[in-house]
Structure 1
Amino acid sequence: MSDRTPRPVERQLPTEEAEDLLALVRDIAQREIRPTAAEEEDAGRFPRELFTLLSASGLLGLPYGSEYGGGEQPYEVYLQVLEELAAARLTVGLGVSVHTLACHALAGYGTKEQAADHLPAMLGGGLLGAYCLSEPASGSDAASLRTKAARDGDDWLITGTKAWITHGGVADFLTVLARTGAEGARGITAFLVPGDAPGLTAAPPERKMGMKGSPTAQLHFDGVRVPDSRRIGEEGQGFAIALSALDSGRLGIAACAVGVAGAALDEAVSYARERRQFGRPVADFQGLRFLLADMATQIEAGRALYLAAARLRDAGRPFSEQAAMAKLFCTDMAMRVTVDAVQVLGGYGYTMDFPVERYMREAKVLQIVEGTNQIQRLVIARHLAGPESR
């Protein structure tokens, strides 16, 4: 199994602190994550110890405020951290993105008392989060979710099933979207639920084609009691909170996609330099050189797109359309690049002796999570032409 040191990426970072942060992340990735990634993924082992390390290193709360233990880093920097982690192992990079998504509701819409009570442990206390929006019959049409939260004195009782939950069964806390009112988007409310709450159970993890080390499972809520002090935002505000989180989450997926694609390109370039046919390295052949050039160009374009959207977010400007564009382009790009990387390696690319087949399998899920790429096209089109006529 290949374990090459990746080619350094030329980055434009806003501060020396950010440069030091990226250097730390690269060191952790090279020493602690990359060497065992293939073996751990093949065995389907969830690397909880790596998330504990990342938390202790201050990497699980980077885009949040320092008053609660966050890293106070702009999204422009945070996303490049995700890219580095995903290049080493997507289970880790995407896991950090999901954890950040799970913290978003409380950090952005919680009260000061809620933030003080919960955020320090969520951001730097070794906890790991999950985000519970999708359901077995409610995926792209998230506003039709059926999980209900009913008032019971000063508490809420949550009943229903959530599906496709990353970290399902291992998360310490959950951001849960549940119906508290009428049908549609305005009847949904957000809650912060402990991962060990009575009445909460996890189904066996899904058997997936990639990211086998990252547990994805249904979660069943059987009258899970949650105090009203764990309701986030106003009643009926949950869907707006969810959409706000997804805009940022889509940038996380875009950065992870660039990381996976970059890892595939590194492997393809190294192999092409070493593999000899007809008496010379296959990297000498123009057809292959052009393929590598196209792969590299697409990766650079994807990175530029997600960074441009991140800078809009950091400036407090609207970025929903650009986030959808970044997620769409970067994940489609990662699929193309990883397929091409397999082609560069030929028969070896189709074997588990090299990591490019794993990258190809992992890239596929990035076109689906955080809103399928068909949904991203709908989002972009609505910004351009307005809502569809009915």
Structure 2
Amino acid sequence: MSLTNSLRPGGRNGLARKESRDPIGYAVAALNVVAQSDLIDRLGLRKKTEQAVFTSTRGGFSVVTKAGRTFAKRGAQKPGVRVPSAGASGVFDLTPTEDEQMLVDVVGEFATEVVRPAATEADEACEAPVALLKSSLEIGLPILGVPEKLGGISEERSAVAGALVAEALARGDMGLAVATLAPGAVATAISLWGTDAQQATYLPAFTGDDVPAAALALSEPTALFDVLQPGATAVRRGDRYVLNGVKAGVPRGGDAELFVVGASLEGKPVLFLVEAGTAGVRVEADPSMGVRAATLSKLHLTDVEVPADAVLGETDGSTYVECVRLSRLAWCALAVGTAQAVLDYVTPYVKEREAFGEPIAHRQSVAFMVANIAIELQAMRLVTYKAASRAAQGKDFAREVALARNLCASKGMQIGLDGVQLLGGHGFVKEHPVERWYRDLRALGVMEGGVLV
């Protein structure tokens, strides 16, 4: 079934209509616009042989960040709008609902028909195609975690829906998934912890037609870096804060107009909203081994002054810790999607590849390796879904996300390695995508921030 035929016609303005839908129903409504977009033709949804044309720079860059947008201060310094926690059925069942499955199917088809064909060139160029990024905005990815009252599509906590979307996108390509999900991470963070003024100032840009690039910057280029003890510092000077430090692994840093930055304030990790045009903010390209399509960058902060109301959430470290956990949960979902792509690729390969007159799948060592991939993948998915479910219900999910992170980091990398091994010499060349998935899965052990559910 084609994507065009599987969706009902609808437009962006349709999100504002008061229809009888649950949260995922609103998400699906947001995704419907892809059916009538002319980007379908340009990206190859109607003809898979058509590919998006994009330009990119292979070399490094060091630039002053984008300052084309001014966020006018609005609202009052009082608690912002919060979506309620999801209801609990009392039954331990992590099976996606019918609407969640519909969302997965739509995003999955988008990942298969749009994201995956663009992945190889994007990986080589270290840049996502502009047309692909625009199409990801049209299908509503940045507003998945934004409350309906603020122009988004969430009526309750959407950690499960976010995890499902991240997984589905990563089956196309992890790097492009990170690039498309990065603005939504910032919008979700402001929705979860922002004051009324912060929400009124920044969220209209994410719910409008001209969605800004934005990034969640938590990682740092430091050996043995502990994300809960950031090296970047914030010092209070009168009615302002002065930030200094370097953040790493920042997706689409050169294009970002807004950053959520983690820094240490009086010994406590705190989140700050930093606009790209602020004096002292500089971005440097930082191409990596994997997740290259996300255009990972370093963010340099040199005596960057931000107002007192730039603090996002609490200053006791609790908001920062929750942000880290939700980010790790998103990375686990990305690992599940990429590992599923490996399994989907190697299974038919070992059945078709012949050696000594028979398919290599007949060899016990090969069959057992494929079976182990399937087993470990299902374990990764189970713990990730459980952590997402508890997060959506407002329950403590520290233990669950720690288990998910540990399992997805270790087993995800092993699945990538086994995928390369099963392809033999083919696993070492770029003709097959498994080597890219292997490089991407290595990111799970080091990446922090960037994405959020």
TM-score, length of structure 2 as denominator length: 0.72
Cα offset, 1:136, TM superposition: 4.1
Q: Distance in 2 between matches of 1:41 and 1:49?
A: 16
Measured on the aligned residues, the alpha-carbon RMSD in Å equals: 2.4
8 Å Cα contact 1:134-1:145 kept in structure 2: no
Corresponding position of 1:193: 274
Q: Distance in 1 between matches of 2:95 and 2:206?
A: 29
User: Alpha carbons of 1:115 and 1:334: their partners in 2 closer, same or farther (altered >3 Å)?
Assistant: same
Cα offset, 1:122, TM superposition: 3.1
Could you tell which deviates more after superposition, 132-141 or 327-336? 132-141
Corresponding position of 1:35: 117
Q: Which amino acid aligns with 2:160?
A: E
Cα offset, 1:108, TM superposition: 2.1
Corresponding position of 1:290: 368
Q: Distance in 1 between matches of 2:160 and 2:313?
A: 27
Q: Which amino acid aligns with 1:190?
A: L
**For 1:220, what is the secondary structure of its paired residue?**
strand
Q: Which amino acid aligns with 1:13?
A: P
User: Alpha carbons of 1:277 and 1:37: their partners in 2 closer, same or farther (altered >3 Å)?
Assistant: same
2:351 to 273, 291, 314: 273
Structure with larger RCO (C-alpha < 8 A, sep 6+) = 2
Corresponding position of 1:112: 196
Cα offset, 1:34, TM superposition: 0.7
Q: Distance in 1 between matches of 2:403 and 2:122?
A: 32
Q: Distance in 2 between matches of 1:78 and 1:31?
A: 20
Q: Which amino acid aligns with 2:258?
A: F
Q: Which amino acid aligns with 2:166?
A: L
2:144 to 41, 49, 62: 62
8 Å Cα contact 1:63-1:78 kept in structure 2: yes
8 Å Cα contact 1:59-1:71 kept in structure 2: no
8 Å Cα contact 1:94-1:253 kept in structure 2: no
Q: Which amino acid aligns with 2:395?
A: R
User: Alpha carbons of 1:189 and 1:247: their partners in 2 closer, same or farther (altered >3 Å)?
Assistant: closer
Q: Which amino acid aligns with 1:246?
A: V
Q: Which amino acid aligns with 1:207?
A: P
Q: Distance in 1 between matches of 2:130 and 2:119?
A: 13
Q: Distance in 2 between matches of 1:297 and 1:13?
A: 19
Corresponding position of 2:97: 14
Cα offset, 1:79, TM superposition: 0.6
Cα offset, 1:98, TM superposition: 4.3
User: Alpha carbons of 1:340 and 1:190: their partners in 2 closer, same or farther (altered >3 Å)?
Assistant: closer
Q: Which structure 2 residue ranges, 5 or more long, are not aligned?
A: 1-47, 49-93
**For 1:88, what is the secondary structure of its paired residue?**
coil
The number of aligned residues is 353
Say whether residues 1:93 and 2:177 are aligned partners.
yes
8 Å Cα contact 2:179-2:293 kept in structure 1: no
8 Å Cα contact 1:101-1:245 kept in structure 2: no
8 Å Cα contact 2:247-2:300 kept in structure 1: yes
Corresponding position of 1:228: 308
Q: Which amino acid aligns with 2:198?
A: Q
Say whether residues 1:24 and 2:102 are aligned partners.
no
Cα offset, 1:209, TM superposition: 1.6
Q: Distance in 2 between matches of 1:98 and 1:65?
A: 18
Corresponding position of 2:441: 363
TM-score, length of structure 1 as denominator length: 0.82
Cα offset, 1:14, TM superposition: 1.8
Q: Distance in 1 between matches of 2:200 and 2:400?
A: 32
Q: Distance in 1 between matches of 2:105 and 2:297?
A: 34
Structural mapping, 1:234-245, within 5 Å: 234=314, 236-237=315-316, 239-245=317-323
User: Alpha carbons of 1:161 and 1:337: their partners in 2 closer, same or farther (altered >3 Å)?
Assistant: closer
Q: Distance in 2 between matches of 1:347 and 1:312?
A: 43
Cα offset, 1:134, TM superposition: 3.5
Q: Which structure 1 residue ranges, 5 or more long, are not aligned?
A: 4-10, 372-390
